[in-house]
Chains A and B, each alone.
Chain A
């Protein structure tokens, strides 16, 4: 089954991911592609507690996730692949087989001093803007959408930042 959602969310596994998307998509597994969490057993335990027992939470480095993407896609269950940063998602797309990632959902990149607000839940610095553009150059459609009931905002609108 194709991966149901590729998402960038700096909160990683949290309520919006597990409940807001997880329930309507009937997720059977979530791949958290994050180098720091992949190296930290305690953090993994923390995130496991937030996921219902019927959902498998898989921890992988970004490179491992990219290499394993075809295996995730062969899973009969619906799955989500999650990164905490734009850079990690770009690395994942570049490391995966061509065409493996068609769309990326920007779910939450929150305030930091070096970032400018684009949407209510999306703040970007120049490097992150460039990385999102690079995703589209790589053939990936990028939209922002925090929850399924919201409109998917295309990248051009995100970058214009007209909907704070």
Chain B
């Protein structure tokens, strides 16, 4: 399939500080596919604002996957609340750059949930200690 026919799946990356923007910037630098990931930072926002902002972001971008940083962070908690009435959504916590790069290159035959699961596994493998 050519790029002209390509309908990219979309995801949100959310979390603390500049983490979301930083990851999207890195994805763009490496793959040129940064537009597939929409950043949403929880910085300076209260609990309800995070949930409302994230919900708006998901609806506007029609994202089907939400990547978050800390499993217990406020952005993850907001995503889990949204999941209650958007059961088709998939959440991946503890996301890193390897996760997102894998996601934007996921096979088009995969469902969003499958692509998210594959990306999560790739991110897990990328996390390693290196010794001399």
Partner-B contacts on A (CB < 8 A)? 10-15, 18-19, 46-47, 49-51, 84, 108-112, 120-121
Contacts and interface: CB of A to CB of B under 8 A. Distances in A.
B72 A50 contact: yes
A11 B77 CA distance: 10
A14 B46 CA distance: 11
Given A46-B80, A110-B44, A121-B44, A14 B49 contact: no
Say what secondary structure dominates the interface of chain A.
loop
Given A15-B16, A110-B49, A111-B49, A50 B71 contact: yes
A11 B50 CA distance: 9
Contact of A18 (B47, B49, B72, B80): B72
Nearest to B70: A15
A120 B43 CA distance: 10
Q: How large is the interface on B (under 10, 10 to 19, 20 to 34, 35 or more residues)?
A: 10 to 19
Contacts of B46: 10-11, 108-112
Given A111-B44, A111-B46, A121-B44, A14 B73 contact: yes
Interface in B18-47: 44-47
Q: Which 9 A-B pairs have the closest CB atoms?
A: A50-B72, A110-B46, A14-B74, A15-B73, A11-B74, A15-B70, A10-B46, A11-B47, A18-B72
B78 to A, nearest CB: 10
Nearest to B80: A46
A14 B45 contact: no
Contacts of B44: 110-111, 120-121
